[in-house]
Amino acid sequence: MSEAVSALKSAEYQGFARVSECGLRGMITVRGDLASRKLTKAVEDATGQQMPKPRMVNTDGPSGIAWMSPDELLVMVPYADVTGKLAQIDKALAGEFAMAVNVSDARAVFALNGNAREVLAKLSPADMRRSALPAGEMRRTRLAQVPAAFFADADDAFTVVCFRSVAHYVFDLLKAASDPSSDVGYF
């Protein structure tokens, strides 16, 4: 064994939605002035993605930028590249009042396919209607008793992010919520 491992080693479950742990994803928390051109350039160069508007996330495969708060971004890159990307961002931000921190291993990431909105609506108080949470919008919220964030792509497949220590709990929650005999028929 010489590779970094994710919390659940790509566990899967098929209910009325499919739950899959995605393995490790490179994640860098960036804090600073989001209006700064230097910071914008730094994260755009690192990801090839555009700076998102408030609450939004721009992604392409494993690379992306998510707006987390008025002074925080989540930069996503392939896990293998994270050390290099972090150094690149640090260098670009030299002299700027900003922070970039590697949080890749602090997270667990799940993919939800199928009627994901219904699964998430059982666990999160967020408004899961397409009109309220369209593709490309990030929601920082909770799943049952723990913090989590999620966003959808155009096909309504959701990416769910939580803390690594509760990966097991969140997987169990998603499993229970997507139990085949429990679909709600709301979305």
Q: Binding residues for other proteins, per CB under 8 A?
A: 1-2, 4-7, 24, 29, 31-32, 71, 97-99, 101-107, 121-129, 132, 144-146, 163-169, 172-173, 176-177, 179, 181-182, 184, 186
Residue 178: both structure tokens together? 């997507």
SS3 92: helix
Residue closer to other proteins (CB basis): 42 or 167: 167
Element (H, E) at 18: strand 17-21
Residue closer to other proteins (CB basis): 111 or 144: 144
Residue closer to other proteins (CB basis): 41 or 184: 184
Instruction: Provide, rounded to whole angstroms, the least separation between the CB of residue 146 and other proteins.
Output: 5
Element (H, E) at 147: strand 146-152
**In sequence order, what are the beta bridge partners of 139?**
150
Residue closer to other proteins (CB basis): 131 or 155: 131
Residue closer to other proteins (CB basis): 50 or 83: 83
Instruction: Provide, rounded to whole angstroms, the least separation between the CB of residue 7 and other proteins.
Output: 8
Question: What is the spatial order of strands in the sheet that 63-69 belongs to?
Answer: 57-60, 63-69, 72-77, 26-31, 99-102
Helices (H) and strands (E) in the chain, counts: 4, 11
Instruction: Provide, rounded to whole angstroms, the least separation between the CB of residue 13 and other proteins.
Output: 13
Instruction: Provide, rounded to whole angstroms, the least separation between the CB of residue 64 and other proteins.
Output: 19
CA 49: distance to chain centroid?
15
Spatial CA neighbour of 97 closest among 36, 51, 43: 36
Instruction: Provide, rounded to whole angstroms, the least separation between the CB of residue 163 and other proteins.
Output: 5
